[in-house]
Amino acid sequence: MSDVKKVVLAYSGGLDTSVILKWLQDVYQCEVVTFTADIGQGEELEPAREKAKKFGVKEIYIDDLREEFVRDFVFPMFRANTVYEGEYLLGTSIARPLIAKRLIEIAHETNADAISHGATGKGNDQVRFELGAYALDSNIKIIAPWREWDLLSREKLLAYAEQNGIPVEMKHKQGGSPYSMDANLLHISYEGRHLENPAAEAEEDMWRWTVSPENAPDEAEYLEIEYRHGDPISLNGKALKPHELLAELNRLGGKHGIGRLDLVENRYVGMKSRGCYETPGGTILLKAHRAIESLTLDREVAHLKDDLMPRYASMIYNGYWWSPERVTLQTLIDHTQQTVNGWVRVKLYKGNVIVTGRDSKTDSLFDSTIATFEDDAGAYDHRDAGGFIKLNALRMRIAGNLRNKK
């Protein structure tokens, strides 16, 4: 282990990564650089700096990555209308490639030999962090303590923390939150404890971002979202930066009880896992983006995107954001978005996002002179439909004639 002189640790300042920090110093006898990413989790990050200083860390990175996260990761994913297994909007998955990217950048900046993370050996995040790291630096060494140490229970972690003078918040000493949570600007997730029984309903006081639909306002609220090249650029006529726009949609969606999800999903490592998610802003954006695409995308292009989306979603869920196949597919997706320009009006009401209007002054493929139920003045010749139907039925008619002869 002496070949590792310096390690960059993805560090939150919580129990797990605080233990990992001291464990790396003890077991690897190495210098540790801490990296804490602000991706909109809504927590005070300065305490992480103070905890790192307490254990002699000299190089401490606390980076505001909120705009980059939404602009370069969330929005590209939403251009594809990405949903994993029909429901999950990939809030945790899409944050991992950015963290992996920054870990590698810091390792290069500080001449570190390795990176380290606090993902467990049962989950998806170890795969996502490490696939991303290897894609960006094929020679990087990765230390995953959960796959090396024997601190495999909460009690052992707490005992190690107490023995080594690691500050532990009082909530941990009292048993702590019943859930394992992960938050960023796109979502907040809940796993563990009570939720490990798939038959048990999630407790109402678990949810942090959204009111229950039953308690949402009785009056609907309308929003207008403007799109340029498939990305939202303004809300109710006000231009906003990507992270500002998503944060505001989270606030509005949460107010109306939008974006709750209770899901049993298939992890990449092979097991099923039950998780609950709140993704209010993302739920609004998915609905609005599909609405503006319905107006501006060619039928076959739209259907091709829908065919490819589940595969694209699996790439992100499984950790292949930096893979050549994801990059190739992204190029195709982004090409389709050149004409996705215009605005969408949605109504928020008691857990629902209802599209009430959409328009594109420059790229709408909706031709009212052809689609009208009124007199179209010859724009569409109804007689053409007869030949169209007969030709499309030809193979079935031939098969029918053969059956009749038998």
177 is catalytic: no
- C-alpha distances (whole Å) from 237 to each of 210, 224, 232, 240, 251 are 25, 7, 11, 9, 17
Beta strands 6-10 and 31-38, pairing class: parallel
Residue of 180, 294, 314, 364 with catalytic role: 180
- Nearest one of 303, 384, 377 to 336, comparing CA atoms: 303
The DSSP secondary structure of 345-400, one letter per residue, reads: EEEEETTEEEEEEEE-TTT----HHHH-SS--TTSS-TTHHHHHHHHHHHHHHHHH
Beta bridge partners of 261: 277
Beta strands 114-116 and 141-143, pairing class: parallel
Residue with the two structure tokens 């060494």 = 141
Residue of 102, 116, 125, 358 with catalytic role: 125
Q: Are 100 and 136 in contact (CB under 8 A)?
A: yes
First to last CA, the chain: 78
Per-residue b or e along 185-202, where b marks 16 or more CB atoms closer than 10 Å to that residue's CB: bbbbbbbeeebeeeeeeb
383 is catalytic: no
125 is catalytic: yes
Residue of 96, 128, 326, 358 with catalytic role: 96
96 is catalytic: yes
Q: Are 357 and 345 in contact (CB under 8 A)?
A: yes
Residue of 12, 16, 274, 360 with catalytic role: 16
Active site residues: 16, 96, 125, 180
